[in-house]
């Protein structure tokens, strides 16, 4: 038998050419893998290739769909009401992250894992910009620094396979956002907007519990009659978490711009921000007479 190590997972090849995990992989022996041996730094608490040879972790893959749909709703709202471009980019980054996560969990390959992890960092840099830029006096320095930071991280992460370092780095970026979100929460008087912030914190808390349970209690969960699919639930909670965060930030920014924001509900369920921008005064000169126009 020959042992071959891919990333942090060791696979053993027997005399017949069959590859199995030496560390108790989640491999399902009933269906062969289209993508080959696992090369990502770790797997999650879900059996691989149960439903298809093209999808390694089925539930962890499809659980990203709600995030894409919610980001699409937010993007349409942002574009139709002509919010600042930063919010369109933010919704697009949510979609890119979800697509990267689909690629990672469907293949469990190292390159696809980076297509999940790198957008996670880029997304948090966008949140930092949106949260802190209104009080930043030097308009060009923050986006320039964050852009260079994001590019540098992407290059380093493609060369150095961060694992624990990536998680610590991501948590630090998240912690930088939370105090500012809380500041906006206490400054906001609108109860509907405050409810969005509460939903943001609630989904973050519940999603984190699901992630931790799936990551550190897998040996116990594997013995249960039904796997609760904690990592898939993390994806769902974080999809809603991003949507609630984006909607709350759109409300706060609209207040700063005096756009008379209101939180309304699509079909009485899904909240979004409706704004009413003030009409702009323009003065047109005809001879010696100025005419006031309302646009």
Question: With 0-12 CB in 10 A as exposed, 13-18 as middle and 19+ as buried, what is 262?
Answer: middle
- Please state, in angstroms and rounded to a whole number, the distance separating the CA atoms of residues 231 and 46: 9
Q: Which residues pair with 272 in a beta bridge?
A: 264
- As a whole number of Å, the end-to-end CA separation of the chain is 77
Nearest residue to 193 (alpha-carbon basis) of 280, 262, 124: 262
Distance of CA 243 to the CA centre of its chain: 9
Binding residue positions for Zn(2+): 105, 231, 235
Sequential DSSP letters for 32-88 = --SS-S--SS---SS-BSSSBTTBSSHHHHHTTHHHHHHHHHHHHHHHHTT--HHHH
Binding residue positions: 44, 46, 48, 57, 105, 231, 235
Calculate helix-pair angle for 85-107, 230-256, nearest 10 degrees.
Answer: 170
36 contacts 56 by C-beta, under 8 angstroms: no
Nearest residue to 105 (alpha-carbon basis) of 155, 175, 170, 50: 50
Structure-token pair, residue 267: 């079909």
Binding residue positions for Ca(2+): 44, 46, 48, 57
- Please state, in angstroms and rounded to a whole number, the distance separating the CA atoms of residues 100 and 94: 10
- Please state, in angstroms and rounded to a whole number, the distance separating the CA atoms of residues 150 and 164: 18
Assign 10 to helix, strand or coil. strand
């Amino acid at each position: 038998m020959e042992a071959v190590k891919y990333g942090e997972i060791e696979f053993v090849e027997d005399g017949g050419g069959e590859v199995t995990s030496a560390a108790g992989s989640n491999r399902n022996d009933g269906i062969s893998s289209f993508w080959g041996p696992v090369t990502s730094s770790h797997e999650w608490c879900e059996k691989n290739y149960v439903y298809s040879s093209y999808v390694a972790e089925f539930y962890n893959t499809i659980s990203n769909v709600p995030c894409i749909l919610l980001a699409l709703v937010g993007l349409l709202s942002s574009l139709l009401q002509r919010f600042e471009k930063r919010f369109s980019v933010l919704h697009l980054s949510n979609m890119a992250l979800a697509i990267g996560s689909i690629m990672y969990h469907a293949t469990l390959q190292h390159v696809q894992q980076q297509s999940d992890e790198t957008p996670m960092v880029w997304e948090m840099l966008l949140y930092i910009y949106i949260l802190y830029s209104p009080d930043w006096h030097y308009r060009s320095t923050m986006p320039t620094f964050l852009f260079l930071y994001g590019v540098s991280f992407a290059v380093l992460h493609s060369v150095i396979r961060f694992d624990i370092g990536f998680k610590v780095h991501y948590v630090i970026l998240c912690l930088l956002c939370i105090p500012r979100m809380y500041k906006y929460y206490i400054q906001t008087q609108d109860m509907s907007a405050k409810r969005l912030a509460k939903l943001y914190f609630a989904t973050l808390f519940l999603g984190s519990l699901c992630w931790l349970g799936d990551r550190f209690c897998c040996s116990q969960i594997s013995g249960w009659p039904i796997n609760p699919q904690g990592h898939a639930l993390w994806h769902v909670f974080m999809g809603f978490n991003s949507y609630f965060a984006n909607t709350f930030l759109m409300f706060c920014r609209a207040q700063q711009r005096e756009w008379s924001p209101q939180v309304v509900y699509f079909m009485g369920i899904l909240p979004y921000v409706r704004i009413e921008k003030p009409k702009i005064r323009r003065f047109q000169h005809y001879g010696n007479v100025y005419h006031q126009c309302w646009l």
